[in-house]
């Protein structure tokens, strides 16, 4: 999404509700990407991002600045055992696998193996495929299966949730038992392109409109859940970090 210099000077605010960034202008977002993010992006992440840009569902991909945040978080908490719900072509998955130590693991769940296999050759090229355990299927039954084994309870240091937004409360009920006490969960798209704060009659794409109520309900749900500390960040499309307290 290149912006020209004239646009940068004008700092035109975006008004549509399908924008990739929640910042006040495209120019500011472009500045962050160009200055701090893209120069540090791993070459395989760059390749995966560029591959995904040609795909019809590219809007689903984790943006590079958010990837940088996820990588930093994983390293700060010394995460070793992680879980991801919602892989798509694997930008956040590759980010995670690269951030983990060589004996780290990421269990990755997605309904679509086809999406995952699009990015897999690049993940293999990055030399981190051995850290990934990909399981195909609807995530809720897979999580229920995991929970049947007591050894999985409290076993994950970091969990990233980025799948169907209408199920986030259902995911929360399960991943809270899977993450360790003191561990971190990141819920993605919790600002839902800004629509959570827009008037009900604001013009929006139907896919935004259809899931907006679920995201609003989920945000309220997290805010009253005393088992976690929360921090909602306006990075990407909004990511809510939750630290399990007990
Ligand atoms: N984290 C990914 C990235 O960095 O590119 C983006 C994930 S994309 C927003 C959402 C993914 O969730 C899609 O790949 C979709 O197939 C998957 N998904 C949607 N509903 C699901 C479900 N019920 N169970 C498992 N996966 C699901
Ligand atoms: Ca997302």
Atom of ligand 1 nearest to the CA of 139: 24
| Residue listed under structure tokens 């921090």 | 231
- Residues ≥6 apart with Cβ < 8 Å to 76: none
Q: What is the pLDDT of residues 9-52, one digit of tens each?
A: 343 444 555 555 677 788 999 999 999 999 999 999 999 999 99
Would the pLDDT of 214 be above 70? yes
Ligand nearest to the Cα of 52, by number: 1
**What pLDDT is stored for residue 20 in this prediction?**
58
Q: Are 157 and 180 in contact (CB under 8 A)?
A: yes
Q: How confident is the model at residue 3 (pLDDT cuts 50, 70, 90)?
A: very low
Q: What is the pLDDT of residues 162-213, one digit of tens each?
A: 999 999 999 999 999 999 999 999 999 999 999 999 999 998 899 999 999 9
User: For ligand 2, a single-atom ion, which residues have Cβ within 5 Å?
Assistant: 162, 188-189
pTM > 0.90: yes or no:
yes
- Any idea where the domains of the chain sit in the sequence? 5-244
Q: What is the pLDDT of residues 120-163, one digit of tens each?
A: 999 999 999 999 999 999 999 999 999 999 999 999 999 999 99
Would the pLDDT of 58 be above 80? yes
The CB of 203 under 6 Å from ligand 1? The reply is no
What topology is assigned to 5-244 in CATH? Rossmann fold (3.40.50)
**What pLDDT is stored for residue 187 in this prediction?**
98
**Nearest CA to 219 among 195, 246, 200?**
195
Residue 188 Cα to ligand 2 middle (Å)? 5
């Amino acid at each position: 999404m290149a912006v020209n210099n004239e646009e940068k000077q004008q700092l035109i605010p975006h008004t549509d509700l399908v924008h990739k960034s929640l910042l006040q202008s495209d120019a500011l977002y472009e500045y962050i990407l160009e200055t701090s993010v893209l120069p540090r992006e791993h070459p395989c992440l760059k390749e995966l991002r560029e591959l995904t840009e040609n795909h019809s569902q590219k809007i689903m991909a984790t943006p590079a600045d958010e990837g940088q945040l996820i990588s930093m978080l994983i390293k700060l908490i010394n995460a070793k055992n992680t879980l991801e719900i919602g892989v798509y072509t694997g930008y956040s998955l590759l980010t995670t696998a690269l951030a983990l130590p060589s004996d780290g693991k990421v269990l990755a769940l997605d309904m679509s193996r086809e999406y995952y296999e699009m990015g897999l050759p690049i993940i293999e090229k990055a030399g981190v495929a051995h850290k990934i355990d990909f399981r195909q299927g609807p995530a809720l039954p897979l999580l229920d299966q995991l929970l049947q084994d007591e050894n999985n309870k409290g076993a994950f240091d970091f969990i990233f949730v980025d799948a169907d937004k209408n199920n986030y409360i259902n995911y929360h009920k399960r991943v809270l038992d899977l993450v360790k006490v003191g561990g971190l969960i990141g819920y993605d798209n919790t600002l839902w392109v800004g629509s959570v704060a827009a008037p009900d009659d604001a013009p929006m794409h139907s896919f935004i409109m259809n899931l907006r109520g679920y995201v609003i309900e989920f945000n309220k749900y997290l805010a009253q859940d005393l088992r976690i500390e929360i921090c909602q960040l306006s990075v990407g499309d909004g990511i809510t970090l939750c630290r399990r307290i007990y």
